[in-house]
């Protein structure tokens, strides 16, 4: 019996350290299929209180669409350096565009050392703005919006919008009650986190813009459906999160992790909320002595959807150990960020994670060493969406999604 119990406990420990896989297709049948929707919502709750990560299938995107987007990103990174530097993120007030390896981004700065190892990656950032699509027409989101009126619990969050927008429904980039916004007055006009992107010209990278815009819009739609599942998992009104994701402050980070880390460099800065992981393997290198392509951190926003063409991502379990997040073809990897953790009073985890550099096969020269490309889609809420811990006192003042993001990122916009 003792041996049986020991094996059972070991099996349970193994199961608890696996990232769950959730088929979210029943959410697309909302408001019908109530039992299936409830089952998916329960699975989301279990994942968000446990690992803080989950794979989702049944999202409506084909393997080919995901592979096409990853391929487009890889093609961008394979441009010559002069073409990439023409889109350098330093040219953008929102830091959109290309950042070379060893550049400004560092997920794991050391406060106790003058020298700091920059992330061993090059990146390209797209963000919400006039040259990227708005969320698609989404029957699930519309049904959720019509299911119940906007809750009054957000009334204690100061209205920080420009004076000519105050008094309108908060938490949206557009009018909530089915009214169409004037095409001459874009919803993002007053959002300092919306802006133009540095896109490669069609003559330089044919098809890139169309592929990325299509992928972007599809992920916005999936994010809204997941927002419904999150609301139901917390026993909140169905429209609670969807109503605040009508024109979200979204950003997509395209990353290529190369085979070698650059030498330590002083003066490196970071734009991601760095978090010390719980007790576990050394944070300066991977669990198998590989260097980190992206240091240990939590995401600072609301929700992240990720796809990749290679291994390397590791997630810190509630027990403080690291587990790999392998690529599952056709699945998106979902995790919540610091905003979601704050919003849920810590009930849902914002989980530390990191990326190990690709292995260099013994038969490969450094010029032919492998690289890993990831597309990381950060779907945050509308800039002026009110955010306040859902179980906090009614007298407790909240903030807005935009203000929260700006404070977390340490950016200033004029």
44 pLDDT band, cuts 50/70/90, is very high
Query: Checking DSSP bridges between strand 21-23 and strand 53-57, what pairing results, if any?
Result: parallel
Two tokens, residue 236: 């909140």
410 pLDDT band, cuts 50/70/90, is confident
Question: What is the average pLDDT value for the chain, to the nearest integer?
Answer: 80
Above 90 in pLDDT, residue 359? no
Give the span between the Cα atoms of 350 and 53, in whole angstroms.
9
In order of their start, the domains of the chain are 19-409 (2.60.120.330)
Above 90 in pLDDT, residue 280? no
Res 377: pLDDT: 99
Res 3: pLDDT: 58
Above 80 in pLDDT, residue 98? yes
The arithmetic mean of pLDDT across residues 159-163, rounded, is 48
Res 210: pLDDT: 98
Query: Which of 400, 413, 274, 288 has the alpha carbon at shortest distance from 339?
Result: 400
Above 70 in pLDDT, residue 130? yes
Res 391: pLDDT: 78
Above 70 in pLDDT, residue 73? yes
| 282 touches 322 (CB < 8 A) | no
Give the span between the Cα atoms of 298 and 337, in whole angstroms.
6
Helix (H, G, I), strand (E, B) or coil at 146: helix
Give the span between the Cα atoms of 170 and 160, in whole angstroms.
10
The arithmetic mean of pLDDT across residues 73-84, rounded, is 98
Q: Is 113 exposed, middle or buried (0-12, 13-18, 19+ CB in 10 A)?
A: exposed
Above 70 in pLDDT, residue 112? no
Question: pLDDT for 294-345, tens place per residue?
Answer: 889 999 999 999 999 999 999 999 999 999 999 999 999 999 999 999 999 9
């Amino acid at each position: 019996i003792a041996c049986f119990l020991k094996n059972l406990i070991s099996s349970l420990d193994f199961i608890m350290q696996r990232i769950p896989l959730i088929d979210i297709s029943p959410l697309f049948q909302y408001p019908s299929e109530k039992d299936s929707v409830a089952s998916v919502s329960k699975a989301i709750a279990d994942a968000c209180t446990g690992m803080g990560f989950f794979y989702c299938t049944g999202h409506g995107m084909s393997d080919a669409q995901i592979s096409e987007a990853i391929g487009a990103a890889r093609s961008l990174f394979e441009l010559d350096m002069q073409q990439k530097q023409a889109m350098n993120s330093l040219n953008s007030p929102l830091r959109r565009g290309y950042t070379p390896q060893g550049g400004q981004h560092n997920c794991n700065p050391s406060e106790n050392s003058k020298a700091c190892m920059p992330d061993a990656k090059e990146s390209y950032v797209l963000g919400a703005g006039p040259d990227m699509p708005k969320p698609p027409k989404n029957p699930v989101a519309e049904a959720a919006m019509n299911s119940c009126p906007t809750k009054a619990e957000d009334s204690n969050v100061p209205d920080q919008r420009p004076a000519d927008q105050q008094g309108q429904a908060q938490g949206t980039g557009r009018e909530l009650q089915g009214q169409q916004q004037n095409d001459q007055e874009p919803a993002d006009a007053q959002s300092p986190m919306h802006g133009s992107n540095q896109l490669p010209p069609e003559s330089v990278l044919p098809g890139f813009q169309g592929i990325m815009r299509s992928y972007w819009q599809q992920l916005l739609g999936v994010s809204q459906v997941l927002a419904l599942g999150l609301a139901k998992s917390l026993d909140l009104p169905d429209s609670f999160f969807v109503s605040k994701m009508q024109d979200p402050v979204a950003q997509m980070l395209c990353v290529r992790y190369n085979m070698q880390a650059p030498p330590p460099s002083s003066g490196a800065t970071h734009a991601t909320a760095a978090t010390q992981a719980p007790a576990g393997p050394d944070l300066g290198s991977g669990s198998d002595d590989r260097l980190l392509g992206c240091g240990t951190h939590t995401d600072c926003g609301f929700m992240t959807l990720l796809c990749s063409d290679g291994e390397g991502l590791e997630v810190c379990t509630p027990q403080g150990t690291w587990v790999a997040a392998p690529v599952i073809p056709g699945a998106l990897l979902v995790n919540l960020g610091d905003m979601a953790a704050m919003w849920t009073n810590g009930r849902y985890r914002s989980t530390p994670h990191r990326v190990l550099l690709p292995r260099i096969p013994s038969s490969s020269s450094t010029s032919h060493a492998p690289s890993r490309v990831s597309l990381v889609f950060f779907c945050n809420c509308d800039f002026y969406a009110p955010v306040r811990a859902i179980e906090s006192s009614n007298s407790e003042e909240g903030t807005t999604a935009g203000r929260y993001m700006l404070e977390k990122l340490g950016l200033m916009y004029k």
